[in-house]
Structures are given as C-alpha cells and as structure tokens.
Amino acid sequence: MSKVLIIGAGGVGNVVVKKCAMLPNVFSDIMLASRTLPKVEAAAKEVKELTGRTIQTAKVDADNVQELVTLIKNFEPKLVINVALPYQDLPIMDACLETKTNYLDTANYEPKDVAKFEYSWQWAYKKRFEDAGIMALLGCGFDPGVTGVFTAHAAKYHFDKDGMEYLDIVDCNAGSHGKAFATNFNPEINIREITQRGKYWENGDWKETEPLEINRMINYPEVGPKKSFLLFHEELESLTKNFPSLKRARFWMTFSDEYITHLKVLENVGMTRIDEVEYQGQKIVPLQFLKAVLPEPASLGENYEGQTSIGCHIRGKKDGKPAYFFIHNNCDHAKTYKEIGAQAVSYTTGVPAMIGAKMMLEEKWMKAGVWNVEEFNPDPFMEDLNKYGLEWHEKSSDFVEFND
C-alpha cells in the first residue's frame, strides 16, 4: 500500500494514472499534478469512470523546485513518477532529494536551449541519492525502458556471459491517425530528437551521421518491411555502458515519406528552431509555437488504426557458438483506445512506467542510487508486461534475420 504522485497529464500521464488506478493494492493513494489544472481534472474524471476510484489532483509548475517540495511534503508520496517533459527531470529530482522521496522517469534530462541527449546530468545525482537512501529509476518507458529490460533478459538467458555483440533496436509505428502531420508524443521533444545528428556505437566509440542520413528496409512482425532511419536514442548510452561486450549498438525508427516531407519543409522554413526569435515585440521559440498548433498526442487515439512494433535484434555467442535472438512487442492502437482511451505510443510508454513504479513499491527493484532499468533483474518486469497489456514474443535461432 503506497502513495504515488504522478506529474504530467499528457498522453503518457493519462495512461500511467489509469493503469495505476487499476491496481489499488499497489497504488493505494494517487495524486495527479500538472501545469494545466483542467487537463488534470479531466484525467481524474476519466479515472473515476473507468475504475470507480477518486484520485487527488493538483496544479504544479514542475520547473519550480520549491513548489514541488511543498506539494510533496503535503502529500507525502513514497514515489514520484515524472511523466512531464525531460526539462523537468532535474527540478523534480532536486525536490525528491530534499524530501527523501523515490523517483522514476521515462526520458533523460534535456536543457531547453540545446538539444543534447545524455544521461550525464542525471547520473551525476547517484551519490546524493545513495546518501539520502532513495532510488531514482531512469528511462522506464518503452524505448528507453522495455528495450533495456529486453536486452537484460537476452543477456541473462540467451547469450554467454559477455556474449552479446551486436544490438539493433527497431521501432515501428505502422499506425494511421488520419492527420496530415502529428507527433505521437510531445511534438517539441519528438522533433528535437529527430532533427539531431544520428549516432551509433561501434568498436568502443560513437560514430556520427547527418540527421536521418542512413536508412534501410526492416521487416517488422505482422507489419512487414518498412523504411527505417538510424537515430541516436538515449538507451544506447546506458546499454553500451552496462553491457560492455557490445561491439555495435544501433537504433532504428520508421517514418513515412509524408512525415519526412512535412518535417523537411518545417525545418527549411525555420519552424523547428529552438532559439528565440523576435515576433511583434515578443520573444518566441518557433518549435514551441509549432507545438501549440499541432494536435496533442493525447488527442490522437480516436480512430487510430494499425499497430506499433518495437523489438531488439541481438547477435553474439551462446555456448561459444554464433547465436541470434529477437524479442518484440506489437501493440494495437484501436485496442489500447478501447481499453483506456489512449493511442499505442502513449500506452507503450505509460504501462512500463506503471510497472517500474510497481517494481519499486513492491521492493523487487529497490536500491539507493540512480539506476537504469537494465541494471535490475528483468524477470518480474517481463512477467508484468505480459500481465498488464504488453505481451512480448521471442525467438532464438542460428538464422540471422538482421544483418549489416
């Protein structure tokens, strides 16, 4: 029986709060807090209709540590689940340190003025979290999150010790929301990620590419071949550190030609800039303005068809012989909408965040410090994925389906 404070009431926050509310034995008291109170109240109403449970609500500016500290001191949660934006990671971690409260998030910290994706800022909190006797679990969505748990599972059961050599994480959204252009999670964060230079790990070093320079056709289960682009994704940083036998680690994501065309036009006209420009005597950031006119991720669920397919292709050695292993989950947009009114990208992020929180509150994953998901026993998490809506499938063979 534990109190939990969820911060952020967007696409992902709506899934986390509903999935937590469905497990009253684990999440005995829930508070949902975010910047815009009407969105929090709308989510609380849906929780009531779906589960019959009443949750507490609050307005908070999660950029403001003192506001967060006051909220946490009043509610006294055992854990804060941060599903606001990456910019809020450090203020929320600071507030957790001050109040000695455990912490979980789904995306690494990013400074607002530079799109830089790395764990360094959050890993730097390790000693302070250890000294305070509290835990932070970083990157517990799907990717990062489940992809790290899948990799830990592969290392435990399907390869020799230090036997994993080549990792390719493949992420496909083969769904259609019927809009000309929309992003499936926060537009600002999504577009910052995609317009960055690509990067992958090879032979002990990072290799850089131009943005979306490398692409290839990848075959996704039940979906078929889709054009996929090499991107840097934050779990590559923690996975190559925690599994140093990896000679190469890459991340691939599908984008339709239509999406890429829209993105190129927006880039070319300056709408994806993250620096301030002067507009009618006011300073605005073009990408933030663009976010304001694009559909909210939480609003995309109705009539969304098709599925997501995310998995890990891994090659290496088992019993000293070459081995190949593939593990994945497919998630259907219409099915998740029917269950809790959410599209599958929010669902595949929110469910693992709930499971990570459950692991911590049940003390299956609990140790002081700052950790990534692959540093824990994958077994109970893998069991819960199957139980709470994200079934996974695995196969190992001598036949390598994913080559260079």
Residues that bind ligand NDP (CB under 6 A): 8-13, 34-36, 39, 60-63, 83-86, 88, 106-107, 141-145, 185-186, 189, 296-298, 346, 349
DSSP-based three-state secondary structure for 17 = helix
Q: How far is the CB of 181 from ligand NDP (least distance, A)?
A: 16
Instruction: Please tell me the distance from the alpha carbon of residue 44 to that of residue 54, in angstroms, as a whole number.
Output: 7
Instruction: Please tell me the distance from the alpha carbon of residue 2 to that of residue 267, in angstroms, as a whole number.
Output: 46
Select from 148, 241, 259 the least CA-distant residue to 194. 259
> Quick one: which H or E segment has residue 260?
helix 257-268
By Cβ distance, which residue is nearest to ligand NDP? 10
Q: How far is the CB of 101 from ligand NDP (least distance, A)?
A: 17
Phi, psi (rounded to 5 degrees) for 123: -60, -25
CB closer to ligand NDP, 83 vs 96: 83
CB closer to ligand NDP, 85 vs 170: 85
CB closer to ligand NDP, 165 vs 237: 237
Residue 330 in contact with residue 173, Cβ under 8 Å? no
What is the token pair recorded at 165? 């050599």
Q: How far is the CB of 160 from ligand NDP (least distance, A)?
A: 29
Q: How far is the CB of 297 from ligand NDP (least distance, A)?
A: 4
Instruction: Please tell me the distance from the alpha carbon of residue 187 to that of residue 171, in angstroms, as a whole number.
Output: 18
CB closer to ligand NDP, 10 vs 163: 10
Select from 131, 154, 138 the least CA-distant residue to 90. 138
Q: How far is the CB of 16 from ligand NDP (least distance, A)?
A: 9
CB closer to ligand NDP, 117 vs 159: 117
Q: How far is the CB of 337 from ligand NDP (least distance, A)?
A: 15
What is the token pair recorded at 250? 């890459």
Cis peptide before 380 (omega within 30 of 0): no
Select from 346, 304, 288 the least CA-distant residue to 179. 304
At 66, which amino acid appears? Answer: Q
Q: How far is the CB of 61 from ligand NDP (least distance, A)?
A: 5
CB closer to ligand NDP, 229 vs 324: 229
CB neighbours of 260 closer than 8 A, spacing ≥ 6? 212
CB closer to ligand NDP, 160 vs 296: 296
